[in-house]
Structure 1
Amino acid sequence: MSQAPDPRLYLIVPGTTPAEQLAAAVEAGDVACVLLTDAGRDARQLVEAAQARGVAVLVADDPTLARALGADGVHLNGEAPVKKTRDALGGDGIVGVQCGRSRHTAMVVGEAGADYVAFAGTEDAPDGPADPEALRWWQLMMTVPCVAMGGCTPDDAGRLAQAGADFVALGAGVWDDPEGPAAAVARAQAGLDTLI
């Protein structure tokens, strides 16, 4: 994932999601990447559904599973071994790292070669969306792309992208949306489109 000229969407996808539902969701907006959570070796249909639509697929914390599924990379947590993970992927896989609220961790893994860093939460809401101040700071200081994570809803997409997120990650807010995942992704995309 290279520096995005315009902000894009990133979906956090439960491994039990039906492949046709994932396909509809990624077709509803400019989705750059999906992160499969709780995925097992039976998640190949999800990988294929996303990749067939030009969307990169990552798995959480497991380079061996990523290779077995034919995924594009791995999403790690904290001060993770970026180089070791990339080597386990075969050298050219995507390695992204969840840094929470830690600017220090983001700088360490960014300098270690992470393809992106992800921020989530604020001091007042640790499980909430990324702190816009952290996103702004990162854009001023670094060139590695950043992802806004942490309970982001479709309605958060525009403000987080405006704050400096290259990618806005949507999770449960998409899959639990009363209008369905595709409608939720379309709403998030509409928020991004106002910035372009």
Structure 2
Amino acid sequence: MAEPLCRLYLITPPSLDDLAGFGRTLAHALDAGDVAALQIRLKDAPDDVIAAAVDALSPIAQARGVAVILNDRPDLAARLGCDGVHVGQGDTPLKEARRIVGPDRMVGVTCHDSLHLAMEAAEDGADYVAFGAFFPTATKDAPTRADPELLTGWQADMLVPCVAIGGITVATARGLAKAGADFLAVSAGVWAHPDGPAAAVKAFNAEMTAGAAER
């Protein structure tokens, strides 16, 4: 069976006070439908807290074929056995992140609303580029607002996959998939969904499949 044209890229909540409980929630969510990746994003957390999260969540994700990507920290991603790292424009530069994690792990780069930054990242060997924020988000401070046309233009000219991020909900997923997103990065849209994360994963997959079919 062919892979979906648009897939879900989950991002953890900003803090995980009950790691065991979140692990159970994560397992149910991943069992509910297709998920490509889980980004562990615990901004400014101590190394031991990040390591504990990776140790607890990686087996749950990787056993289900879900790639584990660590935010910001290529050094910890390599040491803890993550599948990749995601870096922002103010984090470790792409080439340095690649040197640290090696050729076999993924490196993704935040490119905000800039085709120029994305093209530079692609030329420097990024495995994916992330555009956003497409909608208001409380998960992080988003300095830019991206237009869905950015995704369409990227798909027309580039082979490197693109991720849409920022305030994405089930209601907005179809439009972004139709516009050309390869992945939708979602945090609160899944974890805070009124019907629960598992229902959210099902709903996102239905909307993304429908949107991709309309391209």
* TM-score, normalising length: structure 1: 0.89
Q: Deviations over 1:156-192 (max 9, x none)?
A: 2221111000011111111111211111111101102
Does the 8 Å CA contact 1:148/1:169 hold for their aligned counterparts?
A: yes
Shift, 1:20, TM fit: 1.3
How do residues 17-96 of structure 1 correspond to structure 2 at under 5 angstroms?
18-38=22-42, 40-43=50-53, 44-78=55-89, 81-96=93-108
How do residues 85-164 of structure 1 correspond to structure 2 at under 5 angstroms?
85-121=97-133, 127=142, 130-164=146-180
Shift, 1:13, TM fit: 1.1
- Distance in 1, matches of 2:135 and 2:172, equals 18
The aligned counterpart of 1:13 is 12
CA gap 1:191/1:83 in 2 versus in 1, 3 angstroms? same
- Distance in 2, matches of 1:5 and 1:174, equals 19
- Distance in 1, matches of 2:95 and 2:80, equals 21
Does the 8 Å CA contact 2:134/2:166 hold for their aligned counterparts?
A: no
* TM-score, normalising length: structure 2: 0.82
Moved over 6 A (4+): 123-126
- Distance in 1, matches of 2:96 and 2:135, equals 31
Gaps of 5+ in 1: none
Shift, 1:155, TM fit: 2.1
SS in structure 1 at match of 2:167: coil
SS in structure 2 at match of 1:40: helix
SS in structure 1 at match of 2:130: strand
CA gap 1:54/1:82 in 2 versus in 1, 3 angstroms? same
Taking every aligned residue pair, what percent have the same amino acid on both sides?
A: 48
Does the 8 Å CA contact 2:74/2:97 hold for their aligned counterparts?
A: yes
Shift, 1:5, TM fit: 5.8
The counterpart of 1:179, out of the listed 195, 199, 206, is 195
- Distance in 2, matches of 1:123 and 1:31, equals 21
SS in structure 2 at match of 1:31: coil
CA RMSD of the aligned region, Å? 2.3
Q: Which has the higher strand share?
A: 1
- Distance in 2, matches of 1:177 and 1:5, equals 23
